[in-house]
Structures are given as structure tokens and as C-alpha cells.
Chain A
């Protein structure tokens, strides 16, 4: 969906057109869901929080102004706020011990699916431990495939700031996986 089409649907939705809002929802729901599920690591919770995001969006639709940014930037901001709010309510975040609880079995065959699954699990848990901004950069950059300039626009930051966040995030993740005993090269070789 291009920006012009999105703008048209947005204006229709603001006038109360449920079909237009449904079209915008269909366009963006999966990226918002993916963002949330990477942040919280639970599919059911992610579905509920995704529902919250679009409910909030619906409630704030009248006040929304485009301001040169795509709608998804606004949705990401709501999603981020909902995730933070969730952790504030439950007073629970993934703890470091989750990441390091199961060190890599060194005698395991690194090409086995089990090891790759374990590497993925540890990586997800390690992402969940990054700072809010670092998590968002990693998800947008590597999961959604945005380039740095687009991420800067979505997050309302300068590209250099995004590059710095990306660098620190990758360094932290590499350290976490190394501490958990993973040889990333071998894991990558197994899935190439």
C-alpha cells in the first residue's frame, strides 16, 4: 500500500468508515504483531497487546495527523508504549538467567535442529533483554528489514543514533550468545 492510498484510507476511517479502518488494520497488523511477539515472547499475550494497539489507534484516530510519517510509525509508538505498560503492570521482564539457563551442550552436533532452535531461543531472550530502543532497532532492522534511514524516521531519531544503537545491540547480543556457548558461525552454517 503506497502512502497516497494509506492517506486516503486514513481520511475515510477518520470519517467513520469501518471498511477503511479494517483495510489499514489488515495492512499493518502482522508487523505490529511481530514486533510485539518479539518483545514479549508469548503469542497469546502478543495477540492481546496487538488488539490493544489497534483499539488505541481507533480511539485516537480523530486526533491523528500524518505529519509526513507513515501510519505504521504511529502504530509502532503505540505498540512500544503498550509493551512498556504491560511490563510496568506485571512488574516482570525477562531476566538474565532466562538467557543463560541452558548453556549449549558442547558435545551436541551443531547442525542439529535442536541446537539451532536453542540458539534461536537464546537469541530471542537476549533481544528481549536489550534496552527498549535497541530492541526496536533490532526488530525493525533484522526482522522487518528496514534500512537505517527508515528506522530513524519511524523512531523519530537521527540515522547516526540508530547506527549507534544497532552497533551496541549487536555487540551485546554477540556477547550473550558467546557466553551461552554458541558458535554463531557453526549455527549459521547449519541453516545456510
Chain B
């Protein structure tokens, strides 16, 4: 007998046995020539039928329904956004100003500011973000907005995780905003992106995840951790002084002092061989966001390990931010034994590429922020 004939017999017997119309033995008696194969197939069918039927818990059912209702409300928002698309940007701006003049729009947007995914007003919040993003693109300021959005998404993820309802789309949104912030960062934004990534590493580590959200968190870690070359993939970080072109040949103007921290090998630092001209680096321009201070201690909990002696500043002591947990790099020694950081040259101990580059970036940020004060208050050293 062909397989298809047996399949018909099997199905007939399964219908009868599963509905308790016949027993397995009844079927075997009807088709003794197929008894052996019928028996095991029918037994497995019965066993599978008696597997425990899992049910989704009532709390999860309600939470999902609430989230879907919120998404349904939010889903109406893209339609409104689509209608806005053909309008000129100017018209959109005028409409926005008008809305705020009336006060209603501002009230709704303000009310939505602390909403979370699934909340009725969350769609308003996202719409408002899209408007801000569109407006920012006029002024070439989307990098700032994306960084702010990444911070917001991280806050939301933490809040949802606290309530046990973190789901993957939230982390994907965080990934998206973070990636945009990293990709679009300019020289001004890059240091703040680095600080955000540093915080995000710690906060994501503490984020309670499930089997579903954990892979997305792993992808996020891949994004925000330094790559195999030890570099954070933040745009414009290459413009920090450590990546200055290697054409400068001027005599070093400072001999930076180096105090090895306990976790670093006591390698004798190699004096820098070049010092970029103070005006040649875009990061030497003091930023307007951070007031220049003579001494800055980014974190009160860490021990100073560097003493930077810039050529234009007698002594600035700074403390590196706590290092993130960085992957162990092979080799452990940078390709260049000496590095130039900021307006002055500071050798970085070759602990690992990732560590060196991270601290070098911090040093660059520090040097940028204090450069203005140095110019105004100190006499340049010969």
C-alpha cells in the first residue's frame, strides 16, 4: 500500500481516537496490516493531545491589550504626519507657532513629555520629536536632537523595565537613536555622545531583560562598545587631537608627567615627539556649552591618574571618567608608543587600545574645556 493510502487510514484513525469514538486497539483491529506503524503514530498523537496547554497569564494579557490600545491611538498619528509632509517647512513652522500661540498644542505636548510606549499620549510625544527633528535639520542640528532622543529612549527603557513590560521595539528605538547620534555627531557633540555611551553601558548592564529583549540588548552593546580597533564608533572622534596628522615635527614643548594608576603597568612613558599647533585642532576651540574651569573633576569617585601640563597652562589636574567595562584587547600595546592629547602632548600608558583611546578622548574633552581659561589667565611657557 502506498504512503498516501496509509496517510488516509492514519487520519481516519486519528479522528476516531482523538474524539474518543474508537480506541487504539479498535483501529489496530480494523487495519492489522498497518498495526505496528499505526500504533506508534496514534499513541504519539494521543500523547501530544495531552500535553499541558499553556495559557498566557492574565496580567500579561491585560498589559498587552493596554499596549495595543496605545499603539492603535499612536497609529493614527503617522497619518497626520503624512498629511503634513506635502506642506512646506515654512508652513509647518507657521502652523506650529500658531498652535503654540493658542496654547493647546503646548499643553498636549507638555502632558505627553513623560509618557511611555503604550501610553495614550506617547504618539503625541513621538510626533513632537519628529517635528523637532525636522526643524533641527534646518539648522544642521540633528546630531543634538538624536543624542537627546537616545537619552530619552534609554530613560523609557529603564522605566518600562521597572514595570516589567520592556519589549524589544523600545530597545530597537534606542538602538536607532543611539546609532544616529553616533553617526551624525560633530566635533562639538562627539564628547557628549561619548559620555552618553559611557552611561548607557552601565545602565544597560543593569537593565532587567527577558529572553526576547536580551538579544537586542546584546546588539546595543555591540553598537556602543569600542570596536576591535578599540575605538568607539562615534563620528568626529577622529578629529580629536589623538588622531592629528602625523606631519607635525615641532619640538615638544612639554614633558608631561605621568602617574601610573594601580591597574596600569608601570611602563615608562615615551615623551611625545610632536605638538600640534593650538589653532590647528577643531577641538581646541572652547565650547560654548561647558564653561571653562581651571579644574574639572568629572567624577568625584575616582583617583586622579593624569597630570596634564599644557604648554599654555601651568598645571591642570583632571580625573578621567570611570572606565567602562571594555573588552580585553589582544596585543595590549598601542601601535604608537606615544600619543598627543589636546593642545599639549600627553603620553597614554599602553594598557589596552580601548582603554588608551577612551582616556585619550576624555583628555581631549578636558583639554578643550579648559583651553579658554588657559589662554586668558596664563602666560605661555617657553
Contacts A29-B56, A138-B48, A188-B43 given; indicate if A160 touches B210 (C-beta within 8 A).
no
Contacting pair A147 B15 (CB below 8 A):
yes
CA distance A143 to B37 in the complex (A): 22
B215: chain A residues at CB < 8 Å are: 89-90
B246: chain A residues at CB < 8 Å are: none
Decide yes or no whether A50 CB sits under 8 A from chain B. yes
Contacts A21-B68, A55-B169 given; indicate if A171 touches B61 (C-beta within 8 A).
no
Decide yes or no whether A73 CB sits under 8 A from chain B. no
Decide yes or no whether B285 CB sits under 8 A from chain A. no
Mask for A106-145, Cβ within 8 A of B = 1, else 0? 0000000000000110011001000000000010011101
Decide yes or no whether A84 CB sits under 8 A from chain B. no
Minimum C-beta distance from A164 to chain B (A): 6
Q: Which residue of B lies closest to A13 (CB)?
A: B72
Contacting pair B56 A16 (CB below 8 A):
no
Interface-forming stretch among A2-10, A41-49, A64-72, A96-104?
Answer: A41-49
Contacts A45-B210, A45-B212, A49-B212 given; indicate if A143 touches B10 (C-beta within 8 A).
no
Contacting pair B71 A58 (CB below 8 A):
yes
CA distance A164 to B212 in the complex (A): 34
B211: chain A residues at CB < 8 Å are: 42, 44-45, 48
Which residues 1-56 of B have a CB within 8 angstroms of A? Answer: 3-4, 6-8, 10-11, 14-15, 18, 37, 40-41, 43-56
Decide yes or no whether A170 CB sits under 8 A from chain B. yes
Minimum C-beta distance from A133 to chain B (A): 15
A155: chain B residues at CB < 8 Å are: none
Q: Which residue of B lies closest to A139 (CB)?
A: B48
A37: chain B residues at CB < 8 Å are: 54
Contacts A50-B64, A142-B45 given; indicate if A164 touches B73 (C-beta within 8 A).
no
Contacting pair A47 B56 (CB below 8 A):
yes
Which residues 39-91 of B have a CB within 8 angstroms of A? Answer: 40-41, 43-56, 60-61, 64-65, 67-69, 71-73, 75-76
- Total A-B contacts with CB atoms under 8 angstroms apart: 142
Contacting pair A48 B65 (CB below 8 A):
no
Contacting pair A143 B43 (CB below 8 A):
no
Mask for A78-97, Cβ within 8 A of B = 1, else 0? 00000000100110000000
CA distance A174 to B71 in the complex (A): 44
B10: chain A residues at CB < 8 Å are: 163, 166-167, 170
Q: Which residue of A lies closest to B211 (CB)?
A: A45
Contacting pair A16 B72 (CB below 8 A):
yes
Which among B40, B50, B64, B76 is the interface contact of A51 at CB below 8 angstroms?
A: B64
Interface bracket on A: 35 or more
Which among B6, B50, B56 is the interface contact of A50 at CB below 8 angstroms?
A: B56
Q: Which residue of B lies closest to A117 (CB)?
A: B52
Contacts A21-B68, A29-B56 given; indicate if A164 touches B3 (C-beta within 8 A).
yes
CA distance A145 to B51 in the complex (A): 12
CA distance A147 to B12 in the complex (A): 10
Which among B7, B11, B15, B75 is the interface contact of A59 at CB below 8 angstroms?
A: B75
CA distance A54 to B211 in the complex (A): 19
Contacts A167-B6, A171-B41 given; indicate if A48 touches B212 (C-beta within 8 A).
yes
Contacting pair B51 A47 (CB below 8 A):
no
Contacting pair A48 B49 (CB below 8 A):
no
Mask for A151-172, Cβ within 8 A of B = 1, else 0? 0000000001001101100110
Contacting pair A120 B52 (CB below 8 A):
yes
Contacting pair A185 B43 (CB below 8 A):
yes
Question: Can you spell out 9 A-B residue pairs with CB atoms less than 8 angstroms apart?
Answer: A21-B72, A33-B55, A54-B64, A55-B68, A58-B75, A143-B51, A143-B53, A147-B15, A188-B46
Residues in chain B within 8 A of chain A (CB atoms): 3-4, 6-8, 10-11, 14-15, 18, 37, 40-41, 43-56, 60-61, 64-65, 67-69, 71-73, 75-76, 167-169, 210-213, 215
Additional A-B contacts beyond A26-B61, A47-B60, A166-B7 (20; CB < 8 A): A18-B72, A30-B55, A34-B55, A45-B212, A52-B168, A89-B215, A141-B14, A142-B18, A142-B51, A143-B51, A143-B53, A160-B4, A160-B7, A164-B3, A166-B10, A167-B3, A167-B41, A171-B37, A177-B44, A188-B47
Residues in chain A within 8 A of chain B (CB atoms): 16, 18, 21-22, 25-26, 29-30, 33-34, 37-38, 42-52, 54-55, 58-59, 86, 89-90, 119-120, 123-124, 127, 138, 141-143, 145, 147-148, 160, 163-164, 166-167, 170-171, 173-174, 177-178, 184-185, 187-188, 191
- What 6 A-B pairs come out closest when comparing CB atoms? A48-B212, A142-B48, A174-B40, A170-B41, A163-B7, A184-B43
